[in-house]
Amino acid sequence: MTHDRRDFLRRSLLGAAGAAIPIPTEADGQPPATPTSGAQPPSRALDAVMLAALGDAILPESLGAAGRARAIAAFTAWLAAYVPVAEEMHGYGYAELTYTRSDPAPGWRAQLQALDLLARRIRRRGFVQLDLAGRRAVLDAALRGGRHGTLPSSPLGADHVAVALLAHWAATSEAQDLAYGARIGAGQCRSLAETARRPLPIVGETPR
Partner 1 sequence: MTAPRVIETDICLIGAGITAAMMAESLAARTTAEITVIEAGTHTTSLRDRYARRQRWQDYGESPWTQDHIDDQNALGTAYGYSPTMNVGGLAMHWGGVTPRYAPEDFQVRSLFGVGDDWPITYEELDPFYQEAEERMGIAGEQGPPAMDPRGQPFPLPPLPLSDSLRQLRGWAAAAGVTMWSQPSAKNSVAHGGRGVCQRCDTCYPICPTGAKYSPDFTYDALVRAGRIRLVTDTLIRRLQADARTGRITQATGNSTRQHAQTVVVRAKTFVLTGGFTWAPHLLLLSADAAHPDGLANRSGLVGKYLCGHRNVAAQIRLPLDLLPGVNVQHSLVTKQFMRRGHPDRYLRHDLRVWESSFGHGPRLRDDSGGLLLGDTLLADWRRRTKTGVARIRAYYDVLPDRESALTLDAGTRNAWGDPMPRLAFRDAPESAALRGWQEDEIRALFARMARAGNGAIISDASAAGDIGQEHPGGGCRMGDDPASSVVDRHGRTHQHENLWVAGAPTHVTASCCNGTLTFAALGLRTAAALATEFPARS
Phi, psi of 64 (to 5 degrees): 80, 165
For residue 206, the one-letter residue type is T
Measured CA angle at 10 (ends 8, 15), to 5 deg: 120
Q: Which is nearer to partner 1, 39 or 189 (CB)?
A: 189
User: Rounded to the nearest 5°, which phi and psi values hold at 201?
Assistant: -70, 155
Instruction: Choose, by CB under 8 A, the member of 50, 51, 57, 161 that binds partner 1.
Output: 57
* Residue 131 interacts with partner 1 (CB under 8 A): yes or no: no
State the minimum distance, in angstroms, from the CB of residue 65 to partner 1: 13
Interaction between residue 30 and partner 1 (CB under 8 A):
yes
Smaller CB separation from partner 1, 30 or 113: 30
Examine residue 121 and tell whether it contacts partner 1 (CB under 8 A): no
Query: What is the per-residue binding string for partner 1 in 135-154, x denoting contact by CB under 8 A?
Result: -x--xx--x--x-xxxx-xx
Residue 188: count other Cβ atoms within 10 Å of its Cβ.
12
Is residue 2 within the footprint of partner 1 (CB under 8 A)?
Answer: yes
User: CA-CA distance, 9 to 72, in Å (whole number)?
Assistant: 25
**C-alpha dihedral sign at 172, 162, 78, 52:** negative
Binding pattern to partner 1, positions 79-118, x when CB under 8 A? --xxx--xxxxxxxxxx-x--x------------------
Residue 200 to residue 96: CA distance in whole angstroms: 43
Size of the site for partner 1 (CB under 8 A): 85
Q: Least distance from C-beta 20 to partner 1, angstroms?
A: 8
